[in-house]
Structure 1
Amino acid sequence: MTIIPNSHSRRRPRLLQPALAALATLSVITTAACGSTDPDGPAAPPEPQQSTRTEVTGTRLAVTYNGGVLVLDRDSLEPVADLELPEFLRLNPAGDQRHLMVSTGDGFRVLDTGVEVSEHGDHNHYFAGEATLTDVTYPAPEPGHAVRHAGKLALFSDEAGTVQVIDPHEVTAGPAPEPTWTAPDAHHGVAVPLEDGGLFVSVGTEEGRTGATVLDAQHQQVATSDDCPDLHGEATTASGTVLAGCTDGVLLWKDGQFTKIDSPDAYGRIGNQAGSPESEVVLGDYKTDADAELERPTRVSLIDTATERIRLVDLGTSYSFRSLGRGPEGEALVLGTDGRLHVIDPDTGKVTQRIKVTAPWKESATWQDPRPTLLVEDSFAWVTEPGTKQLHVVHLPSATVVDTVELPEMPNELVGVGEAAH
């Protein structure tokens, strides 16, 4: 791997490696102390030595390319595995901070990033092993959305209209003989697990979606709404509100009932959303040209699910469906085609920062084509630049690009393992 010089003085290897080394030392000390709650009492027996794995400071990232998946060490960004798969691939976190779901022609295949997370009270230990494609596949013709919520993972098959709801921590156990639920008509849909064991599921046919239904834990219908034409995407908020986009606004499942928030325009499509556990405001895209083959909007939507209002923010630049993210404090983040990461206060709609990351770019009309992609975890954002095969790292609190590396392949999708589902 080639390290690309960065004009910024605060590069990640210089800025963070001393802290990482200190963290590793602290980790050893903490591990030795785990199990003893009395500082004056007898020492607890040491934990068994792990001879086949190495303790590291965090989880891993994954990047798809034309023909496979690169698994990257999160700190060094060095590839630790190159897993070949000869087709267009999509990735989603399974919800256990270790596994990813790879959407292939057969269904959702489980990818093991190789990092085991061991919880010790108020902190975690991370042990790195080999990253592999497992033999476990959840059958799903035309695999669609994979959604984590309420400690569960829901996998939707567009061709079959089936939903499989699984425990993320048992993802390698394989699928049950029968799906959890099957829609009356197959469609490009989505399902969101709810806290009470129920499901928020889309309603539609091959011609399109019309709304959503909520099922209880026994999969009996609780409520339904047909007031969401061309329903697409999903997001959840700090309070557990579920949101889906429509061509004329958004549909909420909130306080045990459906609520519709209308767009300011007769056709105001919100098809991609990003929620945050720190906020009741959901970030969404916003399109107003129903006849466009590919609309390149410059406005985004901020949907306040508490006040049930939509605020539009004009960025002065377009973006893509892979441009939306949320910061550690709930900041709304949008990667613009001007090459800048736009940071928005979700409560006021004010753009507070514009961080230069990539060269200006233009979105392809073919959605499967590579394009700059934004990933946010903790206090860092990672941004791909396919044209140069580069991956940039942004430290959000300092609004600084702290590292840039060149990858061995042109990156397409970029994902992390995310937070653990509880």
Structure 2
Amino acid sequence: MNRTTLMPRRRTLTASAALCTALLTGCAATDADTSDTSVAAATESTTTDAGPTSVRSATPRLAVTYDGGLLVLDAETLSVVGESELDGFNRIAPAGDERHVAVATAGGFRMLDTGTWSQAHGDHAHHYTAAPALTDLVFDAEEPGHVVRHAGRTVLFDDGTGRVVSFDPAELADGSPATSVFTTPAAHHGVAMELSDGRLVTTLGDGKARTGIVVYDANRTEIARSEECPGVHGETVAADESVVFGCENGLLIYRDGVITKVTSPDPYGRIGNQAGSEDSPVVLGDYKTDRDAELERPQRVSLTNTETGELRLVDLGTSYTFRSLGRGPFGEALVLGTDGALHVLDPSSGEVLRRLPVVDPWTEPAQWQTPRPALFVQGFTAYVTDPATNRIHAVDVETGEVTASVELPHTPDEITGVRG
């Protein structure tokens, strides 16, 4: 079937590195680049002496930041199963192994063990849970930025140095993965991604401007570049390993070894945040048109077909923020609006299929670091935080039913999750 058509809706280290956490073993540091050790140990960690518990099935969990720490929740009941104090404005992303979460914090990317995992055993798997722990494992970075997971590799970007560190996330459970290190020509607020054949795609920029992307082969020899992407920001992957980067005047698509520019219909049509699905060639993006606005509250989103280069704009009739974009279980484009509803769009036509009320209407705060409702999607469930009430809601994307709603002990900020 055509990928743009939605499927029927039915479910088918240093001193303390010797102990990354009570659940992790074998923490001896290794590094593919022996001249540059990129993994260090934190000065403190939250660990547990409790052993793992065998459970019947994989147990998804969520991680939520608040001012001063992190919460780990059971993804079904939304009950708090762990909490770690951590000062600062911390940002989180899945580390790639469906167990750990990368925390961008002072000094680097620190690994949070959510305490849920599965181990393959022949034709089946064994499943375990344990108390979550903020581990000692830290990937050093002056200004930790984007975390990208793709093709069995996790890539960390240090905005302060331009250093790119990639590793196999399956090795996180052993304590300290072997890493591959590459440094961009100049430090900048950037992002990088490793492809299935070892190619590396990085943004191009310096402290003054960001202009495009560069592609390197597995030996890190440059093979392609484009400098037709002013203000390059954000990335995602669509079907057939199409890699997409946002620009102030459209998008760059790297597909089948070729970089293609898709131009916005407006002279300044910025797409800085994207949400892709590897099952769909269409990428969901934001869309802003006021270059001089201190805070633009756009009401249109972009849908770009990476196969045809067609860029479609959809007016939602409500604004949204950079934490509002997601993809559903069948590639649906999801947008959490300031009207309090989750808007479910068909990515091929742009038709709004459903509007699911979740929270009260809200207004985007002036500072981007200030908590606002955030969307995270895992499987058939969309999780929506509501800082105004300190609550989190679980919404069935198919039916629109709110399956769980819980008040948290702290005001939620960022949210992500793992499948266990």
TM-score (norm 1): 0.85
Is the CA contact (8 Å cut-off) linking 2:376 and 2:383 kept in structure 1? Answer: yes
Contact 2:61/2:419, CA 8 A, preserved across alignment: no
Query: Equivalences for 1:263-274 in 2 at 5 Å?
Result: 263-274=264-275
Per-residue CA distance 1:102-152 (angstroms, 9 max, x = gap): 001100001101112123567644310121011110001110000001110
Is 2:77–2:404's contact at 8 Å kept on the other side of the alignment?
no
Deviation at 1:174, TM superposition (A): 3.0
Q: For the structure 1 residues 270 and 51, does the alpha-carbon distance in structure 2 shift closer, same or farther, using more than 3 Å as the test?
A: closer
Is the CA contact (8 Å cut-off) linking 1:273 and 1:284 kept in structure 2? yes
Alignment check: 8 A CA contact 2:88 2:105 kept: yes
Please tell me whether residue 359 in structure 1 is matched to residue 360 in structure 2: yes
Q: Deviations over 1:269-327 (max 9, x none)?
A: 00000000220000000000000011000000001001111000000000000000000
Q: How do 1:98-113 and structure 2 match up within 5 A?
A: 98-113=99-114
* Structure 1 residues 142 and 197: alpha-carbon distance in aligned structure 2, compared to 1, 3 A threshold: same
The aligned counterpart of 2:418 is 417
Equivalence for 2:55: 55
CA contact (8 A) 1:162 1:179 kept: no
Structure 2 residues without counterparts, runs of 5 or longer: 1-49
Give the letter for the 1:267 counterpart.
Y
* CA spacing shift, 1:56–1:292, aligned 2, 3 Å: farther
- The 1:132/1:250 distance shift into structure 2, 3 A limit, reads same
Instruction: Tell me which residue corresponds to 1:174.
Output: 176
Matches within 5 A, 1:15-414: 52-55=52-55, 57=57, 58-120=59-121, 124-171=125-172, 173-174=175-176, 180-414=181-415
Q: Which amino acid aligns with 1:160?
A: T
Give the greater-gyration-radius structure (CA): 1
- Matched residue type, 1:90: R
State the Cα distance separating 1:399 from its structure 2 match: 1.7
CA distance in 2, matches of 1:286, 1:335: 15
Secondary structure class of the residue paired with 2:78 = coil
Unaligned runs of 5+ in 1: 1-49
Structure with the higher fraction of residues in helix conformation: 1
Whether the 8 Å CA contact 1:55–1:128 is kept in 2: the answer is: yes
Query: Deviations for 1:63-91, whole angstroms, at most 9, x for unmatched residues?
Result: 00000000111122111111000111000
8 Å CA contact 2:167–2:180 kept in 1: the answer is no
CA contact (8 A) 1:186 1:204 kept: yes
AA partner of residue 333 (structure 2)? A
CA offset at residue 97 of structure 1?
0.6
Which secondary structure state, in structure 1, belongs to the residue aligned with residue 311 of structure 2? strand
- The question of whether the paired residues in 2 share the 8 Å contact of 1:63 and 1:413 is answered with yes
Distance 2:324 2:232 in 1: 20
| 1:259 Cα offset (Å) | 0.4
8 A contact 2:63–2:415 mirrored in 1:
yes
**2 CA distance for matches of 1:262 and 1:76?**
44
2:171·2:177 contact (CA, 8 Å) conserved in 1?
Answer: no
Q: Distance in 2 between matches of 1:123 and 1:329?
A: 25
SS in 2 for 1:239: helix
The residue that corresponds to 1:27 in the other structure is none
Aligned to 1:41: none
Structure 1 residues 121 and 239: alpha-carbon distance in aligned structure 2, compared to 1, 3 A threshold: farther
Question: Cα 1:346–1:151, aligned 2, differ >3 Å: closer, same or farther?
Answer: same
Whether the aligned pair in 1 keeps the contact of 2:284 and 2:304 (CA below 8 Å) is yes
CA contact (8 A) 1:60 1:72 kept: yes
Matched AA of 1:174: S
* C-alpha RMSD over aligned residues: 1.6
Alpha-carbon spacing, 1:403–1:286, altered in 2? closer, same or farther (3 Å): same
Cα distance, 1:380–1:124 mapped onto 2, change above 3 Å: farther
Aligned partners of 1:72 and 1:80 also within 8 Å: yes
SS where residue 296 of structure 2 aligns? coil
CA contact (8 A) 1:297 1:319 kept: yes
For the structure 1 residues 296 and 121, does the alpha-carbon distance in structure 2 shift closer, same or farther, using more than 3 Å as the test? farther
SS at match of 2:155: strand
